[in-house]
């Protein structure tokens, strides 16, 4: 709980955002609290998956800060203590639906054997569909990866970062996805996969029941995780 409160404070200070701004909405707040519990006579397991993002939009750019923290235990043994924080800058200065992006990302992950990882870089993106209820975007760019891994100290490489992002919505349901493939430019067997898919059922305009499926794989540490959780999401533009 203490770490989640710290996560909230960091995000509110840093600023952040996703998706459908209008001429009169310039800020976006998204808070998701989800998890799973499994108790039997022989075992006990729980997993907490918390996320917080806040965004700001001006005429030609958006600035987004997103933070996630996953914590879990099984039979009193730690399985997850994974934290990620990112700051993303999008610049809209060319033709419609095309923009430049910059990223600064910090990760630490017990399950993926990452002590510390910093990713920084930029690239280009294009939205093939950019409507209120339907959004499909493809982006690509180059990131510099500076990492301290459980099995390797002071690991660094340049990565190509390819992302497919989508959003579909109706009056009742929302479906969101973000999928990354980040392969090393110098090591063919070194790549990172990160996927997040979230299904929401709206209770109110700004609050939803959600289920989330996350899969992460890091070949350099020979580790991966698959996380399924359910909970509540607050999503507000103002």
Domain segments of the chain as ranges: 2-237
Whether 2 shows a pLDDT value over 60: the answer reads no
d(CA 66, CA 51): 7
DSSP code per residue over 46-98: EEEEEEEEEEEE-SSEEEEEEEEEEEEEETTEEEEEEEEEEEEEEE--SSTTE
CA 45 from centroid of its chain's CA atoms: 24
Model confidence pLDDT, tens digit, residues 62-116: 999 999 999 999 999 999 999 999 999 999 988 889 999 999 999 999 999 999 9
Model confidence pLDDT, tens digit, residues 139-192: 999 999 999 999 999 999 999 999 999 999 998 999 999 999 999 999 989 999
Whether 138 shows a pLDDT value over 90: the answer reads yes
Structure pTM? 0.85
Q: Report the CATH superfamily, name and number, of domain 2-237.
A: monomeric porin ompg (2.40.160.40)
Structure tokens at 95: 């033709």
CA 102 from centroid of its chain's CA atoms: 15
Report the range of poorest mean pLDDT among 49-53, 56-60, 150-154. Answer: 56-60
Q: Give the confidence band of 20 by pLDDT, cuts at 50, 70, 90.
A: low
d(CA 202, CA 171): 8
- Residue 25 has what pLDDT? 52
Q: Give the confidence band of 23 by pLDDT, cuts at 50, 70, 90.
A: low
Instruction: Report yes or no: 206 and 234 within 8 Å, Cβ to Cβ.
Output: yes
């Amino acid at each position: 709980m203490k770490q989640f409160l710290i996560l909230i404070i960091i995000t509110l200070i840093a600023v952040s955002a996703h998706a459908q701004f209008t001429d009169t909405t310039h800020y976006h707040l998204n808070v998701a609290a989800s998890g799973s519990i499994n108790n039997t006579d022989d075992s006990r397991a729980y997993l907490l998956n918390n996320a917080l993002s806040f965004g700001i939009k001006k005429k030609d750019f958006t600035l987004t800060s997103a933070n996630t923290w996953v914590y879990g235990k099984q039979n009193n043994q730690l399985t997850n203590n994974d934290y990620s924080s990112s700051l993303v800058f999008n610049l809209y200065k060319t033709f419609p639906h095309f923009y430049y992006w910059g990223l600064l990302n910090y990760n630490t992950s017990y399950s993926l054997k990452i002590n510390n990882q910093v990713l920084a870089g930029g690239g280009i993106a294009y939205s093939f569909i950019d409507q209120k209820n339907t959004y499909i975007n493809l982006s690509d760019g180059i990131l510099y990866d500076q990492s301290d891994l459980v099995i390797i100290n002071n690991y660094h490489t340049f990565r190509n970062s390819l992302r497919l992002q989508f959003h579909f919505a109706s009056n009742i349901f929302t479906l969101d996805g973000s999928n990354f493939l980040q392969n090393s430019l110098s090591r063919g067997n070194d790549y990172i996969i990160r996927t997040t898919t979230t299904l929401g059922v709206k209770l109110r305009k700004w609050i939803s029941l959600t289920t989330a499926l996350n899969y992460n794989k890091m070949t350099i540490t020979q580790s991966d995780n698959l996380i399924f959780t359910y909970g509540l999401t607050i999503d507000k533009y103002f």
